[in-house]
């Protein structure tokens, strides 16, 4: 009897991150907005964030992070580039082909994934599918956002939270049970709540209406308090499903918990709901703010570089954001070299 061979798994073989050098502190924001360092720290856990210089685009961040992930994996290429972003360089074409070209990867498959702050997890599932189907042997997944380009600088409720950055992983074809193999990615969405996080204008709905965008409609808007509630519930729920899919014996089986860096209070609430103790929670929101799709990838790359996330750690990942869209997955963290610092 001949059985079908198991599909290859996507295995993380390299990781990198890039944060633009310019830093904005809470006091910098308080100098031009009706806010304070105390409010921002206590409500979000953020002290400072990295922002792009004028003229910089998402592809500039993505190329830097992608280059580092490729170097971390040993300097080879990739047969496909998947770029998770909410802030493409232009509405058309996708930004990934430009990034692939600038990385010198040749005429490889390249496309964008749009899933706001869950983009890295949606990108992981997409990259894993490319590998499982035999479309690509290895995939460079980059998650990058120049989020400050869609934030209304006068809106204190979002301007203090969102920031810019990029993270990347090189995924290679491997075995499902080896370190670094990405587990089942649990994904979900609820479009009926799309209005909680949106940029109202600039798409086909507004353009076909023949009515010009109203004041501020080109900017990102978030109904924070309602979003908060959904974020906690959906991340906790998808984390439990991912743990069960991995066959792990509940949240306490996870050595490390990495969640989208949306808000320090959200991270605490999700971890407490799951019963994950503080020393197992990874967080860098204090220094990065919320970098959208990039957030989880930047966190993983930074934690690896700092040794907070190391080979053998059973790691639980989860994210939540506009769409609404969310997800979670698990993996045994592999041995990785980092080249960031």
Kindly state the helix (H) or strand (E) to which residue 293 belongs, with its residue range: none
- Could you say which of 26, 117, 284, 313 is catalytic? 117
Contact letters (x/-) for ligand UT7, 46-85, by CB under 6 A? ----------------------------------------
Is 26 an annotated catalytic residue? no
Beta-sheet strands, E only, within 286-324: 314-321
Q: Provide, for the chain, the percentages of residues in helix, strand and coil under a 3-state DSSP scheme, each rounded to the nearest 5.
A: 35, 25, 40
Catalytic residue among 26, 138, 260, 284: 260
- Asked if residue 143 binds ligand UT7 (CB under 6 A), the reply is no
Check residue 43 for interaction with ligand UT7 (CB under 6 A).
yes
Q: Residue 157, interface with ligand UT7 (CB under 6 A)?
A: yes
Tell me if 321 contacts ligand UT7 by CB under 6 A.
Answer: yes
Angle at 224 between CA 221 and CA 229, to 5 degrees: 135
CA distances for 82 relative to 98, 102, 141, 169, angstroms: 11, 14, 5, 10
Tell me if residue 290 is catalytic. yes
User: Does the annotation mark 230 as catalytic?
Assistant: no
Contact flags string 219-258 toward ligand UT7, x per CB under 6 A: -----xx-xx--x---------------------------
Map the footprint of ligand UT7 across residues 253-282, applying CB under 6 A.
262-263, 266
Enter the tokens of residue 56.
């910089």
CB 293 within 8 Å of CB 82: no
Residues 81-140 that bind ligand UT7 (CB under 6 A): 117
Angstrom distance (rounded) from CA 168 to CA 299: 11
Measured over the CA atoms of residue 70, residue 72, residue 76 and residue 80, the dihedral's sign is negative
- List residues near ligand UT7 by CB under 6 A: 35, 39-40, 43-44, 117, 156-157, 160-161, 224-225, 227-228, 231, 262-263, 266, 290, 320-321
Active site residues: 117, 260, 290
């Amino acid at each position: 009897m001949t059985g079908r061979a198991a599909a290859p798994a996507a295995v993380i073989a390299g990781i990198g991150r890039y944060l633009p050098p310019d830093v904005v502190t809470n006091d910098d924001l308080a100098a031009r907005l009706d806010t304070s360092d105390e409010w921002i720290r206590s409500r979000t856990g953020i002290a400072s964030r990295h922002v792009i210089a004028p003229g910089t685009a998402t592809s500039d961040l993505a190329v830097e992070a992608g280059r580092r992930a490729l170097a971390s994996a040993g300097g080879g290429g990739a047969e496909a580039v998947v770029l998770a972003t909410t802030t493409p360089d232009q509405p058309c074409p996708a930004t990934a082909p430009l990034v692939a070209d600038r990385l010198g990867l040749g005429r490889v498959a390249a496309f964008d994934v749009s899933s706001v702050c869950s983009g890295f997890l949606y990108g992981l599932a997409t990259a894993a599918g490319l590998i499982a189907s035999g479309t690509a042997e290895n995939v460079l997944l980059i998650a990058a956002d120049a989020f400050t380009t869609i934030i209304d600088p006068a809106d204190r409720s979002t301007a203090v939270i969102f920031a810019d950055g990029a993270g990347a992983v090189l995924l290679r074809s491997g075995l499902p049970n080896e370190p670094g193999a990405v587990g089942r990615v649990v994904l979900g969405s609820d479009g009926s709540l799309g209005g909680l996080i949106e940029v109202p204008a600039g798409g086909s709905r507004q353009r076909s209406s023949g009515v010009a965008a109203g004041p501020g409609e080109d900017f990102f808007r978030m109904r924070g308090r309602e979003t908060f509630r959904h974020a906690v519930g959906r991340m906790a729920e998808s984390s439990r499903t991912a743990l069960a899919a991995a066959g792990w014996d509940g949240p306490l089986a996870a050595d490390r918990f990495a969640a989208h860096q949306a808000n320090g209070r959200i991270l605490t609430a999700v971890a407490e709901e799951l019963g994950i103790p503080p020393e197992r929670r990874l967080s860098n929101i204090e220094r990065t703010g919320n970098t959208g799709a990039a957030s989880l990838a930047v966190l993983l790359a930074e934690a690896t570089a700092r040794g907070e996330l190391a080979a053998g750690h059973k790691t639980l990942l989860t994210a939540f954001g506009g769409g609404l869209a969310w997800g979670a997955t698990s993996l045994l963290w592999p041995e990785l070299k980092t080249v960031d610092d």
